[in-house]
Structures are given as structure tokens and as C-alpha cells.
Structure 1
Amino acid sequence: MKFTKLFAAGATVLIVGSTLAACGGNSNSSSGSSKKTINWMDSAEIPTMDISKATDVTSFNQLGNVEEGLYRLGNKNKVENALATSTKVSKDGKTWTFTLRPSKWSNGNKLTAKDFVYSWRRTVNPKTASQYAYLFEGIHNATKISAGKAPVNSLGIKAEGNEKLVVTLDKRIPYFKLLMGFPLFFPQNQKVVEANGSKYGTSS
């Protein structure tokens, strides 16, 4: 499956990058120093940090370093909780309910379930032209929305308050939990995205 290969490639680069970073410490610093430095090397400049438009390993690598989704890949690629503290799955596997831990964006804004709703809708919106929108296939109405045959707000995701996120699938997706650890499914801060417009994610 194309997603599995893409995800595996990204995970491999992340692991290799982590190894390089670990080897890049300052050998002249004393072991008792309170300051720690990581020198991170990558194969190219970052093309974009726009979750909806990233397509390359470098971008996804860095998005995985500085942002977080419902889950993360831990030791030996084990899926671990990240922003999700608990998950409830219906018996038919089509409804996933996530409870989020209290979190804030770096600008101080509170991170809520609505940030996931905004992010996912933005990515599947045909106007965004995300090249990886097809990875949302199986989430209710995602394929129809990407094809311009259904409204964006009909996507199978909704926020119930600030800390409850409910996702509805059209069919059971065996690898859904793994999918949620991929940066494409991370939340986005609507205020920041809209304030920066077309320049969002293109510069520090």
C-alpha cells in the first residue's frame, strides 16, 4: 500500500536523523553542563511546514519533530498516545472518539478538538489542492469532498467541546491508528494559517 511505504520511509528518515543528531553533540562540553545542544542535519532546506501541502520527506521529518498529533511513533515504531490521552472505538470500528490532553500552541492559544476539525477540512478541501488528500479515503465523505461532490463540513470529524474529538469512517480502516501518527493528520491553528495566507509555513 502506498501509504504504508510512504509512512515507513518517513519513519526511517526520522530514525536516521535522530541518530545523526545524537552524534552531533559538542564533545567539549562538560558532562555536568545544564545546557544541551542538538545539531540536526537534513538532506535539504525545508520546502514547507504547511501540513496540508507538505509532500516530501524533509518537510514531514521536521513536522514530526516540532508538532504532534493524536499519536506518535515511539520506540521500535510502537504507536503511543500523544495529544490523545484515551481512545474509544465502536464495535464496528467506524467511530473513534479521542479525548485530548490540555495543550497550548507556541503562541499561547489553547489547542482544542476544533483545531483538528479545521486542519482535516482544510486538507481535503479541493481549493487547498493537497496532493495527499487521498490518504483521508475511508473517513466519511472525504473522497466526495476532495472531488468537489460534497461540502467540506460534511467530513466525518467533529469536536464535542474542547477536548473530545469524534471521527466517523465509511469503512473499517485496519491501519487507522498508525495513520493518525502521520503529520498530515495533525491539528492546525486556524488564526495562524489565515493570518499568514499563502506564506504560511514557508519561512521561520
Structure 2
Amino acid sequence: MKLSKTLSLGATVLASAALLAACGSNRSSSSSSSKKTLTWMDSAEIPTMDLSKATDAASFNQISNTMEGLYRLGKNSKLEKGLATSEKVSKDGKTYTYTLRKSKWSDGSELTAKDFVYSWRRTVNPKTASQYSYLFSGIKNADAIVAGKKPVSSLGIKAVGKYKLVITLERRIPYFDKLMGFAVFFPQSEKAVTKYGSKYGTASKYMLYNGPFKHVGWTGSNLSWKMVKNPYYW
């Protein structure tokens, strides 16, 4: 039940945003202005934009609209392609191979399969203390890594070239594809994490984004911010 509620969060937010955007679009089409603005209120201030450490709806609302993973969860939790252009699953259901589309971070730098590898390793690393690291259970060596018994480099994920990602499981996970639509499994820029250090994810400017919008104006403690079009979104 907890997992189901967690995974439905992103879909609910996106569906609500789409509905409001449609209303806004109808209003704007009847006026002379071509500017389209969606305004909504969130349930609380944002605790963090660090997807490895986020645990709450307010954070994931923002992350899900400014970041993107292999898939998106659309209406009724239906999977829609995000960065994955194709998927191949082994006969035993324990190896997933994804081909990624060419895409960029919000600073114009290239996003590759290595950004997924870095992100997943960072989340399961005990030093990160991610409260959602348990969702990686079933991926090869994830449980042992979280328990501090194996190195993060042994996690069952690897980049093959720039645009191929191979994930190895210890057992079949029937809902594995849907997990890929949840923000904890999105890529992260190692360059940004290294550059900003402890400030990473604590304000809009201490992040890089790969989703349709960039986050601006959030200082870490204020109660208003904006999401603006990301010119590098594929």
C-alpha cells in the first residue's frame, strides 16, 4: 500500500497540472495574449530538491516537474516514455536493457547513461541516508549495499556507452517498470552534486534539471517560486 501511494503521487500531480494547464490554455486562447501561465498552490514549503533525500509530496511535486527518468507516470499511472526510447527484458525477467534518447541538462551539458548509474549509487549509499533506498531492493546487491556490506560500485546497474543502460535484478519485480517512473530512480548530474556539495538541492540555483521546466526563485526557505520552460528539454 505504501509503495502504491508513493508511485501514484507523481501521476496525480501531473494529471492535476495537465487539467489546470488545459483550463489556462482555453482562457488564453480567447484572449489576445499568447503567454500561458499556470498558477497553483502546494501543501507546504519545499524541504529539498535532492531526489535522493526527498520524502514528502511537496518535494516530489517539484522534482517530478523539473526532472525526468526513463518513464513518466501519466493518467491512471499509465507509463509514458521519458528518456527511454526502447526496453528489452531478458527471458528470466531479471535483466532490463534501456536505450536512451539524446538529451541535455539545463546547462546544456549532455545527459548520458552514466548519470543514472551515479544517481542510483548515490541513493543506495549508506552515507546518503536515503529513506527511500529500500525501493531498490531486488536490484542486484542493493540490500547488501544499503546494509554497508558491499561497495556501491557492485549495484546492478551499468552504462554501456552513452545511451544504453543495463539493470540486473536478483529476482523478478512485476512492478519494476512503474518504479522507473518514480523520482528516486531519476538521473542526477555528478557535476552538480560535486560542485554544490552540501548545498545541492537546498535552493533552485543549486541544481541542474533535465525535465520540461527549470526551478527558479526558491531560496530554501521562501514560500513562492516559479517553474520556467527548460530550453534544453528534448
In the other structure, the counterpart of 2:89 is 89
Aligned to 1:12: 12
Pair 1:53-2:64 in alignment: no
Gaps of 5+ in 1: none
Q: Which moved more, 1:164-173 or 1:76-85?
A: 76-85
Deviations 1:56-114 (A, max 9, x none): 01111111111100000123321011100000000011000000000000011100000
Q: Which residue of 1 aligns with 2:99?
A: 99
Equivalent residue, structure 2, for 1:114: 114
**Matching residue of 2:38:** 38
Q: Which residue of 1 aligns with 2:198?
A: 198
Report deviation, 1:35.
1.6
Quick one: which amino acid aligns to residue 167 of structure 2? V
| Percent of aligned positions that are identical | 70
2:8/2:77 contact within 8 Å kept: no
CA contact (8 A) 1:87 1:96 kept: yes
Contact 2:10 2:182 in 1 (8 A): no
CA-based RMSD: 1.9
2:66 matches 1:66: yes
Runs of at least 4 residues of structure 1 off by over 6 A?
Answer: none
What is the distance in 2 between the residues matched to 1:34 and 1:14?
23
| TM-aligned CA deviation for residue 16 of structure 1 | 3.6
CA 28–116 in structure 1, closer or farther in 2 if over 3 Å, else same: closer
SS at match of 1:80: strand
Counterpart secondary structure, 1:149: coil
TM-score by length of 2: 0.81
d(CA) in 2 for partners of 1:6, 1:28: 34
Instruction: Find the residue that maps to 2:15 and give its secondary structure.
Output: helix
TM-score (norm 1): 0.93
Equivalence for 1:166: 166
Asked if the contact 1:120/1:185 (under 8 Å) is kept, the reply is yes
Separation in 2 of the partners of 1:168 and 1:46? 34
Distance 1:52 1:124 in 2: 9
Partner of 2:129: 129
CA distance in 2 between counterparts of 1:101 and 1:16 reads: 27
Q: Unpaired runs of 5+ in structure 2?
A: 205-234
Corresponding residue number in structure 2 for 1:182? 182
Contact persistence 2:55–2:131 (CA under 8 A):
yes
Partner AA of 1:174 in structure 2: P
